[in-house]
A and B are shown apart, each in its own frame.
Chain A
Amino acid sequence: MRGSKAVLELLERHGVEVMFGLPGGTTIPLYDDLLDSKIRHVLVRHEQCAAHMADGYARATGRPGVCTSTSGPGVTNLMTGVATAFVDSSPMLVITGQVATHLIGNDAFQEADSFSLMMPITKHNFRVLDPKDIPEAIKRGFKIATTGRYGPVHVDLPVDVMRAEVPDELLEKEFHVAKPMEDLSDLPEALKMLREAERPLLLVGGGVIWANASREVLQLAESLMAPIVTTIMGKGAVPESHPLCLGVIGMHGREVARRAFLDCDVLLAIGTRFSDRSAGNQSILSDKVKIIHIDIDAGEVGKGMHTRVRLIGDARKILKAIIAGLSASKGETPWSLRMKALREECECCIDLGGNPIKPQKVIYELNKIMPDNAIVTTEVGQNQMWAAHFLKVRHPRQFITSGGFGTMGFGFPAALGVKVAFPNRPVIDIAGDGSLQMVFQEFATAVCENLPVMVCLMNNGWLGMVKQWQKLFWGKRYSGTELKNNPDFVKLAQAFGADGVVVEKPSELREALERGLRSDVPFIVDIHVDPEEDVLPMIPPGGGKDLVRGRCKWRS
């Protein structure tokens, strides 16, 4: 069969139900065969958003997302989305067109060295120069994306390769992918440390969600009576209403989480790479803190922290082994009681009724009205940090954000990808006006594809996070951060066939959000929030023990 048909046939065999993309000259064969395929195609308005949608789909479902673009500018547009997925270990299959093989290297029209460009931002990539290699690229590509530490895999397909014939029998061939490294030799030492720990703490990262190890984390925490702190990528791994969950740690994390981090004697870190924005500054930790690090990526274990014990492998499997090894459960300890008490005392004193609307008020209202099965995505900046700090997430994969790469414009297209995966669940994008304007054109996609997500826009007229840094650390010298000519977002959404409402008073907020959740078209709630509000508390860049606290205080 034709190469492009073989690609689609193999995607279907892997259970692919949707592909996000935008066609071009080099992908016409693929799009021609798509007419006869069961795979749904979601036509985006910018390739970057195709990658974000595939990424959102993958994060919500745990299955690889598929996106496609043409060669040259299609590929370079796609790259920000691919890098976003790579940094957050999200599995994707990225299929790009390429100029015909005889033109490669000749500076042909819309030619870019996609293979080299994608190399540092993908887990693996294939440049298919012979149609016989298509089955290997697709089959191995899927396996690589979902083996070990997940990540995007890129397949570059020259147009003549897609038009050439692939013998049908080659589609049946199987291809081997090596198993990831596993090393549990330090397990007895880990058990000994956990048994002897007086102040154990679990630091939970995004790897726990990818490994579907949330139940085991909770079981172990309850067995040890160990508090849990999460990175932003790990948010939702355990219900944030659980008495042992202290919330998100990091630059804008909860102070009680940081206090536990500083005071623990044994830190069990699971599926986290100790990012500089979460828990990377070990200099503030006492030398006496013993760190046990569990990760599926041997390259991450011990990379950033001086770990005593390293366990390499699947988090769920290792946690089960630890739970079985510990056997007996502890009851309440002075440490667990102290942390529970601190949890209650950690409170931000915010006037939620004040005008202009405080951004935190928006999150508080969402906490009240958000259905249990809702999925929330965020953009990047202050909106993301308010959501990370204040939103009470109830289950894994409910909170989707660009944690590592920090990509503005991620949330809205990711929300559309989530909505494609779960059309019957409410999907909310918590956005800022800076981020949303990078991807607003995707309202066209949302309307065309009948994807009624709610965009909860915290509109403060600024690139708020940069402004906050300029305010706190650069003498209030605001440069390039005021968005002076914001459009009327509701009218703009309506121009695409969507709908929305402007909110300027706290009393209008609840009704507007409820209307957005009920809407059967994409809906924007344009909330004019206090432009002077900062995300606090904040650990200053470079770390250290001194917090910028603002009004955040301990209750007693």
Chain B
Amino acid sequence: MEIIRIIGENTQGIFPKVLSELVRRKVEVNRAFVDRSNGKIEMIIEVRNSSLNGKLLHSLRNLQDVISVEYLKEKYICHLELSPGENSQTTFVEPFGKAY
């Protein structure tokens, strides 16, 4: 499993577009968290990325209105891993500096 962080302009349909892109490239999506603020959207998505690796980042980056895409290290999602049943607001703390 990998965790991908995607930041984009908060335009209509960007989140389903990202999911659609992942699905069409045979990437399995397990969980996703979305935060919208100040005209931006931030998506944290847990995926099984098959063999695409870095190419997947390029594909997502190339979607309209996507600003950045990166893999997150596993240590940053320990709260999510340990308490998947918890409310998403309490799961992420670092390194983003705010709670999700």
Q: A interface vs B, CB < 8 Å?
A: 115-116, 119-120, 123-127, 144, 148-149, 178, 181, 297-299, 301-303
Q: From residue 16 to 48 of chain B, which have CB atoms closer than 8 A to chain A?
A: 16-17, 20-21, 24
Q: How far is it, in angstroms, between the C-alpha of A273 and the C-alpha of B12 when the chains are bound?
A: 29
Known pairs A116-B16, A120-B21, A299-B58; list 19 more (Cβ under 8 Å): A115-B13, A119-B16, A120-B20, A120-B24, A123-B64, A124-B64, A125-B13, A126-B12, A127-B12, A148-B62, A149-B62, A178-B65, A181-B62, A297-B62, A299-B55, A299-B61, A302-B58, A303-B58, A303-B59
A126 proximity list for chain B (CB < 8 A): 12
Q: In the complex, are the beta carbons of A298 and B64 less than 8 A apart?
A: no
Q: How far is it, in angstroms, between the C-alpha of A116 and the C-alpha of B19 when the chains are bound?
A: 11
Q: B interface vs A, CB < 8 Å?
A: 12-13, 16-17, 20-21, 24, 54-55, 58-59, 61-62, 64-65, 67
Interchain nearest-CB distance for A448 vs B (Å): 37
Query: Can you list the 5 inter-chain pairs with the closest CB atoms, starting with the nearest?
Result: A299-B59, A124-B64, A299-B62, A299-B58, A298-B58
Interface of A is mostly: loop
User: How many Cβ-Cβ contacts under 8 Å join chain A to chain B?
Assistant: 40
With CB as the reference atom, state the residue of chain B lying closest to A126.
Answer: B12
B54 proximity list for chain A (CB < 8 A): 302
Q: How far is it, in angstroms, between the C-alpha of A394 and the C-alpha of B24 when the chains are bound?
A: 37
A-B contact pairs, 10 of them (CB 8 A): A119-B16, A119-B20, A123-B64, A125-B13, A178-B65, A178-B67, A181-B61, A299-B58, A302-B58, A303-B58
From A120, A125, A149, A301, B58 is in contact (CB under 8 Å) with A301
Q: In the complex, are the beta carbons of B58 and A119 less than 8 A apart?
A: no
With CB as the reference atom, state the residue of chain A lying closest to B62.
Answer: A299
Q: How far is it, in angstroms, between the C-alpha of A116 and the C-alpha of B17 when the chains are bound?
A: 9
B67 proximity list for chain A (CB < 8 A): 178
Q: In the complex, are the beta carbons of A298 and B62 less than 8 A apart?
A: yes
B55 proximity list for chain A (CB < 8 A): 299, 302-303
Most A CB contacts (10 A, CB to CB) among B16, B54, B64, B65 go to: B64
A302 proximity list for chain B (CB < 8 A): 54-55, 58
With CB as the reference atom, state the residue of chain B lying closest to A120.
Answer: B20
Q: In the complex, are the beta carbons of B12 and A298 less than 8 A apart?
A: no
**Known contacts A298-B58, A299-B58; is-contact A127 B64 (Cβ 8 Å):** no
B17 proximity list for chain A (CB < 8 A): 119, 124
With CB as the reference atom, state the residue of chain B lying closest to A177.
Answer: B64
Q: In the complex, are the beta carbons of B62 and A119 less than 8 A apart?
A: no
A125 proximity list for chain B (CB < 8 A): 13
Q: How far is it, in angstroms, between the C-alpha of A120 and the C-alpha of B21 when the chains are bound?
A: 7
Interchain nearest-CB distance for A119 vs B (Å): 5
Interchain nearest-CB distance for B50 vs A (Å): 13
A115 proximity list for chain B (CB < 8 A): 13
With CB as the reference atom, state the residue of chain B lying closest to A298.
Answer: B58
Q: How far is it, in angstroms, between the C-alpha of A134 and the C-alpha of B20 when the chains are bound?
A: 25
Interchain nearest-CB distance for A113 vs B (Å): 11
Interchain nearest-CB distance for A114 vs B (Å): 12
A127 proximity list for chain B (CB < 8 A): 12-13
